[in-house]
Amino acid sequence: MTRIVPLTALLTVLAAPAIGLAQVGKRIDVLDPNVAAERELLALPHLSETLVKGILERRPFLSMTDLNAFLTPSLSAEQRTELYRRLFVAINLNAAPREEILLIPGVGNRMLREFLEYRPYQALSQFHREIGKYVDAEELARLAQYVFVPVKLNTASDEDILSIPGVGNRMLREFKEYRPYPNIEKFRREIGKYVDSKEVARLERYVTLN
């Protein structure tokens, strides 16, 4: 059953000043397949026990394209579109290819052009400001669930870092402990002391030195 999110709840997401928006879009009713619990995945439309087992075994998915490739042999285009309203690997607003952006439910060629027009995004607040010219507050909050702007490792606020899926206070301390990062290799080496290589690769998607 599709969860209906009250408009008031969606508007609350946008109530804070734009400058305070973290770099990873706030999830309202869309799960991240890389951190979702098994019971959460089993509750989603069209995901059988076999598919859920496959997701758990193969994760982390380092792009939405990878997840889509895994699901395509088992689910029709219509089923995948319905599922992606509840399950999605967030896309990098500055790097995602056109085909990946079009996997976002409800995004067609017109909205794709708007997504691309404002690259490079310096912050998620820019996405809210620019895309908010074309859609209402409810739709903007929905779209923000699918996207992120990479967090700047050496200057990101605690809020920015904590917006990365699966990052809590412990990992926040580790991210900050090794600043400044002169290169991404240092990030891989230092964070690799605490998590395995797959998790380092997942976290790396969300960070940048630029």
Going from N- to C-terminal start, the domains of the chain cover 7-148, 151-208
Q: Is residue 155 within 8 Å of 22, Cβ to Cβ?
A: no
Tell me the C-alpha distance between 2 and 24, whole Å: 23
Tell me the C-alpha distance between 115 and 44, whole Å: 28
pLDDT band (50, 70, 90) for residue 22: confident
CA 178 → CA 57, 162, 210, distances in Å? 31, 16, 17
pLDDT band (50, 70, 90) for residue 195: very high
pLDDT band (50, 70, 90) for residue 194: very high
What is the greatest pairwise CA distance in the chain?
48
Q: Is the pTM of this model over 0.75?
A: yes
pLDDT band (50, 70, 90) for residue 210: confident
Q: Is residue 81 within 8 Å of 137, Cβ to Cβ?
A: no
Average pLDDT, the chain: 92
pLDDT digit string, tens, across residues 46-56 = 999 999 999 99
Averaged pLDDT, 83-101: 98
pLDDT digit string, tens, across residues 151-176 = 999 999 999 999 999 999 999 999 99
Averaged pLDDT, 85-108: 98
In this prediction, residue 18 carries a pLDDT of 40
Q: Is residue 178 within 8 Å of 186, Cβ to Cβ?
A: yes
Question: Which residues does 85 contact at the CB level (< 8 Å), separation at least 6?
Answer: 2, 30, 105
Residue 105 has pLDDT above 80, yes or no: yes
Tell me the C-alpha distance between 97 and 193, whole Å: 32
**Range list of H helices, 87-133:** 98-101, 109-117, 124-131
Report DSSP state, residue 147.
E
CA 160 → CA 24, 46, 81, 96, 157, distances in Å? 7, 33, 29, 20, 5
